[in-house]
Amino acid sequence: MNQDRACGLQALLHRLQLSFDELGKKDWVIISTALTHTSAGLEANHEELEFLGDAVLRLACAEFLEEQNPKLSVGERSAFRAQLVSDRWLAELAAELELDGLIRQGAATAADTTARATVRAECCEALVGAVYLA
């Protein structure tokens, strides 16, 4: 991992309020993998962590809605959860976390402005999965 990427990942950990010292080498690899989009053409990429991150977010959201709004019907909770755990929200969170400079992706994807939000959302969701594992 190059020095700039390592510094960027360290800054991200600080924004996530995670301690650099608490993470082992395996955790660094998982977080780096979460920020590697499939378009980069690397074997280790975000896809599996994105799947896990989606499940973690849905569970956390479901628990939150159950605790805060127990009288909502299942349908109402589902609709509310879908709004809370949306690609739009994930892309906004990724921008807030300043993930753009940390995401490894293919040149064509990086140049596609319409794909930018999707890539952000996917890698942000993968980051949730990575943090869950770390």
Output the DSSP codes for the chain: --HHHHHHHHHHHHHTT--GGG--HHHHHHHHHHTB-GGG--SS-SHHHHHHHHHHHHHHHHHHHHHH-TTS-HHHHHHHHHHHT-HHHHHHHHHHTT-TTT-B--HHHHH-TTTHHHHHHHHHHHHHHHHHH-
Q: pLDDT digits over 3-32, tens only?
A: 777 788 888 888 888 766 677 778 888 999
pLDDT in the model for residue 33: 95
* pLDDT over 70 (residue 132): yes
pLDDT in the model for residue 65: 92
Give the residue numbers marked as catalytic: 54, 125
